[in-house]
Every structure is written in structure tokens, then in C-alpha cells.
Amino acid sequence: MNPMITKEVKKLWQNKYASVRDYEIAACLKSNSDLQIKYKGKTITVPVDRLKYYKPGDRVFASKFGKPYKLVDIPFTQED
């Protein structure tokens, strides 16, 4: 079992996608960690080998505290 990085999101885009910052995905890939996403008490786990297939959108967002980032939209389908 791989180590895991946990990310909590406050809302879903179009009620079905969890938006994760590109550098958070990069951190998972670099550390070979799965990504666990939590939303309103529900949890999904995205294996690290599947994370590399998700690509960020074209829009660049300005961060209040760091460098600019792009969002990666991951389908939020709850595990059983």
C-alpha cells in the first residue's frame, strides 16, 4: 500500500469534480503517494498510478501566498 496525501475540498465543480492544485498532484507523484480527497464526510482515493493521467486546465490562478497554479479536475465518485 502506498503512502497517502489527504486533501479536503469545500465544494465540487459542476457537482461532480474535485479541483486539486497542480502542485498537489506533483507532490503525490514525486513522493509516490496516493491522493485521498474528502468532501462533506465522503472520501475517495486516487491511486498514484492514475494521477499521472489527469492534466491541469489552461487557466492559471494567482495564489495569495505562493506561485501561480492550475487546477486539475478529478471526478468525485464515492467509494463503497
Residue 20, domain member (yes or no): yes
Instruction: Count how many domains the chain has.
Output: 1
The mean pLDDT of the chain is: 92
- Residue-level pLDDT at 80: 42
Residue 45, domain member (yes or no): yes
- Residue-level pLDDT at 2: 75
Residue 68, domain member (yes or no): yes
User: pTM for this structure?
Assistant: 0.87
Distance set, CA 52 to CA 22, 26, 27, 35, 48 (Å) = 11, 9, 11, 11, 7
Q: Which residue segment(s) compose the domain that 36 sits in?
A: 4-73
Question: Average pLDDT of 30-37?
Answer: 96
Q: For residue 37, how many other CB atoms are within 10 A of its CB?
A: 20
C-alpha cell at 14: 459542476
Q: Tens digit of pLDDT for each residue in 36-67?
A: 999 999 999 999 999 999 999 999 999 888 88
C-alpha cell at 65: 501566498
- Residue-level pLDDT at 63: 86
More confident residue, 23 or 1: 23
